[in-house]
Amino acid sequence: MSLYIGLMSGTSLDSVDAVAVEIDPERCTLVAADSYPLPAVTRQQILQLTQPGNNEIELMGLLDLELGNIFASATNQLIEQHQLNRTQITAIGSHGQTIRHRPGTDAPGFTLQIGDPNTITELTGITTVADFRRRDMAAGGQGAPLVPAFHQALFQSEQHSRLLVNIGGMSNITLLPVDSQSSVMGYDTGPGNVLLDSWIQHRQGKSYDRDGAWARSGEICQPLLTSLLDLPFFQLPPPKSTGREQFNLDWLQQQLALLSSPPSDKDVQATLLEYTALTLSNAIKQHSDWQHYQIYLCGGGAHNSALKQRISELLAPAEVATTAALGVDPDWVEAIAFSWLAYRTLTGMSGNLSAVTGARGERILGGVYPA
């Protein structure tokens, strides 16, 4: 059994999740986990890079190094705080910070994650595996989502069909049929926390809406909801993926400007919560056998009790739980996934599912930066 570090900084931009995981061909065992907040200045710079602007190359180069330092610091703190033996760690799997994701449809697509893996290796003394998405895209895939392959390895059951719902900045689902010979399906469904977090940050200066309390205080604005739902992305068949390029504050404000009677701030938040829950549930209900699946949430959105309640209402009578019921804390699923992907890379095994990403086949993902 080998020890791996997994690092994840998602589109929510709240923190770097770091985990230590023991991995062998049969299982993944979480050994240690912590979350390290991103500095406010760094978060603002990332946000700046997610939208076209001036002097992007200079800012990207500097931020690439800064995030490499932050990711290395998160690793070193995890090792020290949990008294891990550095010499027993095989590798770090670092997702990096996505600053642009343009999955190809009619034209070639590209994706870009920063957080220099050379810096991570240099400052930790541990081999780092990074840049997991671009090999899948080179093979004609969307480069996302990648976690369904991990979901299959960790959560597929011979007794029950399971549906994993990851609610990070964006939301994605993975359908794991009980028949292991059937294809696993997974794709992005639309926004997760991204619009909810952006709006409360913009209007109240808070990083997130705890338990959806502000959303609960408002009423759904039907004209706004209708406008938000009128987006071609939701009509696209999988494979599909998305990001902040589509779902961002500027786009939301453009939709608000089209309304003849602007809603109150709290009504906007209530509408965004409904939007997230509805786009998720609509995607799930497109699958004719969805009611035969056990549904489990993971990611930061699993802690939003108002969102979880609304998803449960929309998917009734199906029961909705979190991956904690399967023995895995919902906060750490994605970071564990990237430690597992590093393991797959170094053992010469594929890390993508072509049925999910649309690639021409399974591929070994990631670049290796030796210690």
Is the per-residue pLDDT at 54 higher than 90? no
Over residues 61-85, the pLDDT tens digits come to: 999 999 999 999 999 999 999 999 9
Mean of pLDDT values over 143-166: 96
What confidence category does residue 109 fall into, taking pLDDT thresholds of 50, 70 and 90? confident
Instruction: List phi, psi (to 5°) of 91.
Output: -165, 165
Domain 2-143+332-369 has CATH 3.30.420.40: yes
Locate the domains of the chain by residue range: 2-143+332-369, 147-326
Domain 147-326 has CATH 3.30.420.40: yes
CA–CA dist 100, 188 (Å, integer): 16
Mean of pLDDT values over 336-344: 98
Burial of 71 (0-12, 13-18, 19+ CB in 10 A): buried
Mean of pLDDT values over 154-160: 95
Mean pLDDT of the chain: 95
Instruction: List the structure tokens of 158.
Output: 């011979």
Cis peptide before 317 (omega within 30 of 0): yes
CA 227 to chain centre: 25
Q: In angstroms, what is the C-alpha Rg of the chain?
A: 20
Is the per-residue pLDDT at 104 higher than 80? no
Single-letter code of the amino acid located at 307: L
């791996």: which residue's tokens? 4
> What string of H, E and C letters represents the secondary structure of the chain?
CEEEEEEECCCCCCEEEEEEEEEECCEEEEEEEEEEECCHHHHHHHHHHCCCCCCHHHHHHHHHHHHHHHHHHHHHHHHHHCCCCHHHEEEEEECCEEEEEECCCCCCCEEEEECCHHHHHHHHCCCEEECCHHHHHHCCCCCCCCHHHHHHHHHCCCCCEEEEEEECCEEEEEEECCCCCCCCEEEEEEECCHHHHHHHHHHHCCCCCHHHHHHHCCCCCHHHHHHHHCCHHHHCCCCCCCCCCCCCHHHHHHHHHCCCCCCCHHHHHHHHHHHHHHHHHHHHHCCCCHHHEEEEEECHHHHCHHHHHHHHHHCCCCCEEEHHHHCCCCCCHHHHHHHHHHHHHHCCCCCCCHHHHCCCCCCCCCEEECC
CB 176 within 8 A of CB 152: yes
CA 283 to chain centre: 17
What confidence category does residue 10 fall into, taking pLDDT thresholds of 50, 70 and 90? confident
Burial of 288 (0-12, 13-18, 19+ CB in 10 A): exposed
Q: Give me the pLDDT at residue 371, please.
A: 97
Mean of pLDDT values over 94-122: 91
Q: Give me the pLDDT at residue 51, please.
A: 77
Over residues 168-200, the pLDDT tens digits come to: 999 999 999 998 788 899 999 999 999 999 999
What confidence category does residue 106 fall into, taking pLDDT thresholds of 50, 70 and 90? low
Give how far Cα 208 sits from Cα of 15, 251, 304, 335, Å.
13, 19, 10, 21
What confidence category does residue 16 fall into, taking pLDDT thresholds of 50, 70 and 90? very high
* Mutual angle of helices 56-81 and 40-49, in 10-degree steps: 140
* Mutual angle of helices 249-257 and 194-204, in 10-degree steps: 80
Percent of the chain at pLDDT exceeding 70: 99
- pTM over cut 0.85: yes
Q: Give me the pLDDT at residue 15, please.
A: 94
Mean of pLDDT values over 152-168: 96
User: Do the domains spanning 2-143+332-369 and 147-326 agree at the CATH topology level?
Assistant: yes
* Mutual angle of helices 265-285 and 222-229, in 10-degree steps: 40
Over residues 198-255, the pLDDT tens digits come to: 999 999 999 999 999 999 999 999 999 999 999 999 999 999 999 999 999 999 999 9
